[in-house]
Structure 1
């Protein structure tokens, strides 16, 4: 892995410090009654019906979403900045591949992935850095590959920083994030907004996109 910026190093350190407690938190998004499962299932179906290829969960944490994607029939691996998170993921799911790495500089050849899932993992990126993340996602996706972003939605406000329990994070207007993705060469397939559930503070956004023609 290349040397991390100060921001990425601070994010990795923050997640290292809370990794064990984080891994023990309940996962409402993977509960059988959660609409988030339907979003993940739709992503998996699109990937399965396209050209076969691996899927990366970027910012995988201790690995439950990666494992869920495996159970949906995908050839999936996880990447995370936090070495402690990766150790926990490898311990919990020894049959899956997990690697330490950064979303802005993936150790992958261009056009090798059929899909990418970023499940609340771009939320810590400073807003000005998000276009470079999207460009990297586009680089490693095969033509027609799919990208799924999950994030906290800003409910009509511009991009807004908030006091995430681990480290500073940002809420995005769903239209603004979709526009950035379009500028990076992604075509929107679908979106979902859901209101906060029990114990949640903010509305949740999901964007499902496909790698399109190179932006002009």
Structure 2
């Protein structure tokens, strides 16, 4: 389903000015040339946007099909296959930034502490983390999306719940943005964007 997903969301960044503003602010906090990994990068649309903002960004995803599209669309960016729960290719404190843009929504809540601990491990002191996710308590299940024989669960979160878990992992909150759903684009719940920092 990678090609259908990439086609559906190809122009998503261009249609979302608030999201672009959050990512621009994040890129300034990290600083030009900062080493950033886009975790759960999918077809690489966010990876490419962050690279255009001047970050030294790479992408990581579990799906080789998604990565094939990401590499095709962004030939100058390095993309790797792997799990964001085990970032073996990144040493402790080796990154200036990490981005989880709607990728933690596939991680069960009981695995979030381990996920955030891994994000914290790879970030250098003073490094920044950016998360985007859907707000809510009830998961959304997609059965046979675009006619493909798969099922997807989108696990919605409360910003205060996420901040509590991230604080426990050692992060400090820098900003919290929540916007109302864009019903013109079929959204049904608010969207949240958090920027956090690993203390010096």
Normalising by structure 2, report the TM-score: 0.90
Mapping of residues 1-216 of structure 1, within 5 Å:
18-27=1-10, 29-31=12-14, 34-48=17-31, 53-106=34-87, 107-154=89-136, 159-164=137-142, 165=145, 167-197=152-182, 198=184, 199-212=186-199
Distance across 1 between alignment mates of 2:42 and 2:36 = 16
The aligned length equals 190
Distance across 2 between alignment mates of 1:93 and 1:71 = 11
- Stretches of 4+ moved more than 3 A in 1? 26-29
5+ residue gaps, structure 1: 1-17
Distance across 1 between alignment mates of 2:84 and 2:178 = 24
Output one character per residue of 1:97-133: Cα deviation in whole Å (capped at 9) or x when no partner: 0000100001211100000111000001000001100
Gap change, CA 1:170 and 1:176, over 3 Å in 2: same
What is the SS of the residue equivalent to 2:69? helix
RMSD: 1.5
5+ residue gaps, structure 2: 146-150
* Equivalent residues of 1:28, 1:34 under 8 A apart: no
